[in-house]
Amino acid sequence: MNETIFKDFPELRVVDTREIGSDRKIKSYVLRTAGLKKREARAIETYWPRYGLSFKEEMLDYSVLFGNDNPVVIEIGFGNGAATAHIAKMRSEYNYIGLEVFLTGIAKLLNAVGKEGLDNIKMMRFDAVEVLKHMIADASIAGFHIFFPDPWPKKRHVKRRLIQKPFAELLARKLIKGGYIYCVTDWQEYADQMLEVFDSIPDLTNPYGGFAPPIPWRLKTSFEKKGIEKEHPINEVWVEKA
């Protein structure tokens, strides 16, 4: 099933960053492969032409992409897309770009937004770091959402975590003045690291002085529910560009 989709939509094949000459050590994802169910393949065939984006080494023109000048929010790693679809519907005054490499998650989000007929969202299957570097202009993004990134709990794997200073600096550079980064995790040590990393970026300020209160428009994700079942604390981090 996957091969048929890749034949029809070759941009859905994840391109390893090494193939385009990148020598950086940190990627925004670890690829997990899974076969598509028939309904998921059908969602891609039906809705990808409307909502899908291809990676290109050229800056996106948001007004052309969305047909308006509304502020743009990027979500990195949207999982099954339930929270993404909910937020796009609830906060329709924003445009959204979702970045995810999990093909089943892309199919689920496509199905959700396609059935709702939402017109303020696009998505791409590619490494977020490369997208930010090559397709997103500096000082052009209103916000970033990063919900439950892989915590890499083992000490020897901590260096693989997404939220580290070089990545935070990249996010800050892409934000407009007053733009925000909104992260959520159920891993306490990672939450503490997020605060420390963002605090080290001169352009970012924390209006809460620590963890943020729950943001009412964010839908609880499946990862959050699992964390709660394990009695993990749910920590939210919100910082803004000064």
Pinpoint the alpha helices (H) of the chain: 2-8, 38-51, 62-66, 82-90, 103-116, 128-135, 165-174, 188-199, 222-229
10-51: pLDDT as tens digits: 878 765 544 434 444 444 444 444 578 889 999 999 999 999
Q: What is 2-14+25-57+64-241's CATH topology? A: Rossmann fold (3.40.50)
Q: Which tokens go with 160?
A: 């693989």
3-state DSSP assignment of residue 73: strand
Please report, for the chain, the start and end positions of each structural domain, with discontinuous segments joined by +: 2-14+25-57+64-241
Catalytic residue among 119, 150, 192, 199: 150
pLDDT of residue 83: 95
83-93: pLDDT as tens digits: 999 999 999 99
pLDDT of residue 14: 61
As a whole number, the mean pLDDT across the chain is: 89
CA distance 194 to 135: 25
User: Does 180 score more than 70 pLDDT?
Assistant: yes
**What average pLDDT does the segment 121-143 reach?**
96
User: Does 99 score more than 50 pLDDT?
Assistant: yes
pLDDT of residue 29: 47
User: Does 1 score more than 60 pLDDT?
Assistant: no
Between 2 and 205, the more confident residue is: 205
184-238: pLDDT as tens digits: 999 999 999 999 999 999 999 999 999 999 999 998 877 788 878 888 899 999 9
User: Does 142 score more than 60 pLDDT?
Assistant: yes
Q: Indicate the pLDDT class of residue 160, thresholds 50, 70 and 90.
A: confident
150 is catalytic: yes
Closest to 59 in 3D by CA, of 182, 152, 141 = 141
Pairing between β-strand 175-185 and β-strand 235-241 as defined by DSSP bridges? antiparallel
Closest to 55 in 3D by CA, of 146, 141, 122, 154 = 122
